[in-house]
Amino acid sequence: MNSRSSTHLVLIPSYNPGPKVLETVRTARQYWDPVWVVVDGSTDGTAAGLQQMAAGDPGLHIIVLPANVGKGAAVLHGLDQAAARGFTHALTMDSDGQHPAELIPGFMAESIKKPGCMILGKPVFDAAAPALRVKGREISNWWANLETLWAGIGDSLFGFRVYPVEPLRAVMRGQRWMRRFDFDPEAVVRLCWRGVKPVNVPAPVRYFTIAEGGVSHFRYLRDNTLLTWMHTRLLFGFIARLPMLLIGRLRG
């Protein structure tokens, strides 16, 4: 177990993940201290199990929201509390076991070396990855890179990443979006606009079958509609910022 960090924490938003969350959190705790979980109005009973784990583990902190508010809103809730306690960086990861907890120390070390950057996981897919999802993220990645003048976003949707807390809070407090599935891609685009540089680190991702305890809340029509609207508004924001982005690129 690593010694407790006073600047970097692991932040896990969780909504009805099933029993996998207990394994996910237990593994994350093997690699980092502290780990925070924001239970986003879950109704599957996992909040009680997590609170029981935390009762015997001072490195684990559980925040339970009374109703589901969405991934981005849950992350922001955790960021606000983290900032109040003096944390400067947060590594976000999913609660369903898809993200590689064993890479937490390496990502945190990269963030400590480059505190002004965001450390983005670049997913390495195995054969179990749904082809439709992989193709869909390629489209989102193309748009995200256009909207940032190809600032170097390796993957816009992969939620295993380290953010500087204050720039992300400022971005989110400055507008009403980024509260649900649109959180991950919009965060990296808007942080790039603020001058936070992306650093890409490869990370394997695993898709679990239902028999393995896998749970997915992705809804193809609903979430792709949300992403389409997100990229539409980001494109308008990009056009408005284009002169400054070009000047910054020439100076860089």
Would you give per-residue pLDDT tens digits along the chain (252 residues)? 567 999 999 999 999 999 899 999 999 999 999 999 999 999 999 999 999 999 999 999 999 999 999 999 999 999 999 999 999 999 999 999 889 999 999 999 999 999 999 999 999 987 666 666 677 788 889 999 999 999 999 999 999 999 999 999 999 999 889 998 889 999 999 999 999 999 999 999 876 555 555 555 555 566 668 788 899 999 999 999 999 888 877 776
Q: Are 120 and 84 a contacting pair, CB within 8 Å?
A: no
Look at residue 1 and tell me if it is in a domain: no
**Considering the entire predicted model, what is its pTM?**
0.90
Look at residue 3 and tell me if it is in a domain: no
pLDDT of residue 227: 82
Look at residue 169 and tell me if it is in a domain: yes
Q: Tell me, what CATH number does 74's domain have? A: 3.90.550.10
Q: Token digits for 99?
A: 């993200």
Look at residue 36 and tell me if it is in a domain: yes
Q: 183 is in which domain, residue-wise?
A: 8-251
Domain count, the chain: 1
Look at residue 2 and tell me if it is in a domain: no
Look at residue 165 and tell me if it is in a domain: yes
Q: Are 238 and 147 a contacting pair, CB within 8 Å?
A: yes
Element (H, E) at 109: helix 104-113
Q: Are 154 and 109 a contacting pair, CB within 8 Å?
A: no
> Which residues on neighbouring strands pair with residue 8, listed in sequence order?
89
Nearest to 224 by CA among 124, 173, 157, 158: 157
pLDDT of residue 249: 77
pLDDT of residue 245: 87
Q: Are 148 and 118 a contacting pair, CB within 8 Å?
A: no
The per-residue DSSP string of 17-62 comes to: -TTHHHHHHHHHHHH-S-EEEEEES--SSHHHHHHHHHHT-TTEEE
Q: Are 173 and 136 a contacting pair, CB within 8 Å?
A: no
Q: Token digits for 48?
A: 């009680």
Nearest to 65 by CA among 88, 84, 81, 89: 81
pLDDT of residue 39: 98
